[in-house]
């Protein structure tokens, strides 16, 4: 995978657009003048968490004795599941989230920004592209930066696009991610069976 594909994949999995309504809801009781500061702080915590998973991923995967082919196939399946959840969103992401005080780490940084799906994808990238961690980290920085900017503009985007607009974009994101997941899955199958040289 090249820098562009890796960046787009991480950005899509971060699902900043899908998280906009949740961010707005959680921050609705907080002084609006603090929204940007909170989002920047939480996104920074998320970046630290994802960076740790990226650079520790190869050791975790090697310790599990998983082959590159298995990781490629597993990565495709994981991305496909994520894509399906984007195309057919569930309304339970906001359950059990009670905004009683200013959020700190949970739930904005983890799991909404640095969620298990993104962590899993970074683990797979870290092992599959172990010799190119620098460009994967660059891809993570670009995707993280773009996602943070979207969240900083969450109120304006929500007002412009509306709930239906955000849902439509999220489903389009899911369709793009579906294509990427199938490509990753087919590449894993190809590598396992040595179908092409």
Query: Rounded to whole angstroms, how far apart are CA atoms 95 and 103?
Result: 15
pLDDT score for 151: 95
pTM of the model: 0.79
pLDDT score for 51: 95
Read off the pLDDT of residues 35-88 as tens digits, 9 standing for 90 and up.
999 999 999 999 999 999 898 877 776 777 767 677 778 778 887 887 888 888
pLDDT at 93 over 60: no
Q: Which helix (H) or strand (E) holds 65?
A: none
Place of tokens 């990781």: 71
**Cα Rg, the chain, nearest whole Å:** 17
pLDDT score for 46: 96
How buried is 12 (Cβ within 10 angstroms: 0-12 exposed, 13-18 middle, 19+ buried)? buried
Read off the pLDDT of residues 94-148 as tens digits, 9 standing for 90 and up.
555 555 568 888 888 988 899 877 887 888 788 777 678 899 999 999 999 999 9
Read off the pLDDT of residues 154-173 as tens digits, 9 standing for 90 and up.
989 888 888 888 888 888 88
Helix, strand and coil percent figures for the chain, each rounded to 5: 80, 0, 20
Query: Rounded to whole angstroms, how far apart are CA atoms 70 and 185?
Result: 9
pLDDT score for 149: 97
Burial readout 73-101 (b: 16 or more C-beta within 10 A, e: otherwise): bbbbebbbebbebbeeeeeebeeeeeeee
């Amino acid at each position: 995978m090249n820098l562009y594909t890796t960046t787009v994949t991480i950005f899509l999995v971060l699902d900043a657009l899908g998280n906009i309504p949740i961010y707005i809801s959680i921050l609705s009781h907080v002084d609006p003048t603090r929204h940007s500061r909170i989002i920047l702080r939480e996104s920074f915590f998320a970046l630290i968490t994802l960076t740790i998973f990226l650079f520790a991923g190869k050791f975790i995967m090697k310790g599990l004795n998983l082959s590159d082919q298995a990781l490629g196939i597993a990565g495709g399946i994981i991305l496909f599941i994520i894509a399906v959840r984007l195309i057919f969103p569930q309304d339970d992401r906001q359950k059990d989230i009670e905004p009683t005080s200013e959020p700190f780490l949970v739930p904005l940084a983890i799991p909404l920004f640095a969620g298990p799906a993104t962590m899993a994808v970074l683990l797979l990238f870290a092992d599959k592209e172990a010799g190119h961690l620098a460009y994967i980290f660059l891809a993570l920085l670009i995707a993280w930066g773009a996602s943070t900017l979207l969240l900083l503009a969450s109120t304006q985007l929500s007002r412009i696009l509306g709930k239906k607009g955000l849902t439509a974009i999220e489903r389009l994101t899911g369709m793009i991610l579906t294509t990427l997941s199938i490509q990753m899955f087919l590449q894993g199958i190809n590598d396992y069976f040595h179908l092409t040289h």
